[in-house]
Amino acid sequence: MGMDAGESFEQDLDGHQVLKRASGGRYIPAQALKPGSMLGEVLNVVPELKAIADVHLRIVFNMDSSNVGPKQWVQLARILDTNRDHYDAFVLACGTDTLSYIAAALSLMLVGFKKPIIITGSQLPLALPRSDARQNLLDAMCCATAAFSPPHVNLQEVAVCFGGRLMRGNRTQKINSSAYQAFDSLNYPHLANLGVSVDWDVPALLKVNTVYRPRFKLEPRVIRVPIIPGSDPRIVYGDLAGRGVKGMVLEAFGVGNMPDRAEAGWLPWLKAQRKKGVLVYLSSQCTVGSLHPELYRSGSAALRLGVESGPQMTAECAAVKLMLCLSYPDLPLGSPLAGEL
């Protein structure tokens, strides 16, 4: 939700506190689809927000989400950490193209945060006649303040609210570039569905029992490598380690299968990259279903080479978790930190 970087707006009302922050996107209109300006007017454009909570508005940066990466994710995480004790909940409005990466990053960097961090955005700018921005923002605020009205839901995680769905942030993917229901968590139940009523799936909510320990380091030298039938990675990808790559999300077929003939080159190439220190996480090109590379000879061989795997993560979350685990070697790549697998 963009605005001029030098502007801010604060509205003081009695009630619970919600810090709403922006990092670019499409909430305020322009002649073309680009980051908006004058975000401080949003409380005037959507006055219902002031009836939901005492909203403090802060603009972090104003940029296209395609340009938002690890540096900005860390910046957002630090701001949330600094303000954790001052607010009851947080709503982040941002562009949709990398929203899933932002959600995964915040959930993994702020494990144990124990307060709602709701991320939303829009497919169309706020001032356009059929914009989804208004409803998405109101829905996000409703979910962020769910603890303060019946049925008093104790939401303690990073979630994405979009198109009438509340989804676990690190399980969410952008699945449609033109529909209002642009995001889904295809391999995990929705936390809530918002229609005339808000229907919560309370058993699906994250149970946070860990001590809060923020982490603000990410190693960005990570690559996603989808396996393509007939391709030779020695030619297509070459020596990744020699080019400075530190981590790889290897996107295999089905439950974790890949070509195992010597001439295909995948296993020899993996062996060489592992010897040079590249951390590899094996995932699937399938969006839904479980991951069991041990069921196939090639998958088992990859595991013996030191390739890590576990229950299925989204490709976005797997890439971000690699960035985190490369910076914190004590963290388990194949074990859950924040309900991501």
Domain annotation covers residue 151: yes
Q: Are residues 146 and 259 in the same domain?
A: no
Q: What is the CATH number of the domain that holds 59?
A: 3.40.50.1170
Confidence (pLDDT) at 92: 95
Q: Domain total for the chain?
A: 2
Sequence-distant (6+) residues with CB within 8 A of 188 are: 167, 168, 171, 204
Q: Are residues 257 and 182 in the same domain?
A: no
Q: Are residues 269 and 199 in the same domain?
A: no
Average pLDDT of the chain? 88
Q: Are residues 16 and 49 in the same domain?
A: yes
Residue 96 is assigned to a ligand binding site: yes
Domain annotation covers residue 109: yes
Q: Are residues 162 and 229 in the same domain?
A: no
Q: Are residues 263 and 228 in the same domain?
A: yes
Q: b/e for 230-254, b at 16 or more Cβ within 10 A?
A: eeebeeebeebbeeebbbbbbbbbb
pLDDT band at 286 (very low <50, low <70, confident <90, very high): very high
Rounded to 10 deg, the angle between the 70-83 and 99-109 helix axes is 50
Residue 132 is assigned to a ligand binding site: no
Confidence (pLDDT) at 44: 77
Q: Are residues 119 and 184 in the same domain?
A: yes
Strand partners, 22: 59, 93
Domain that holds residue 245: 222-327
Q: Are residues 92 and 186 in the same domain?
A: yes
Domain annotation covers residue 332: no
- Whether 333 and 222 have beta carbons less than 8 Å apart is answered as no
Q: Are residues 51 and 195 in the same domain?
A: yes
Which is nearest to 68 in space by CA: 46, 115, 35, 114? 35
Confidence (pTM) = 0.88
Q: Are residues 226 and 200 in the same domain?
A: no
pLDDT digits (tens, 9 = 90+) for 40-95: 577 777 878 888 888 888 888 888 889 999 999 999 999 999 999 999 999 999 99
Q: Are residues 195 and 226 in the same domain?
A: no
Q: Are residues 57 and 120 in the same domain?
A: yes
Rounded-to-integer distance, Cα 106 and Cα 39, Å: 23
Selection from 259-263, 303-307, 310-314 with the highest mean pLDDT: 303-307
In degrees rounded to 5, what are phi and psi of residue 269?
-65, -45
Q: What is the CATH number of the domain that holds 317?
A: 3.40.50.40
Residue 64 is assigned to a ligand binding site: no
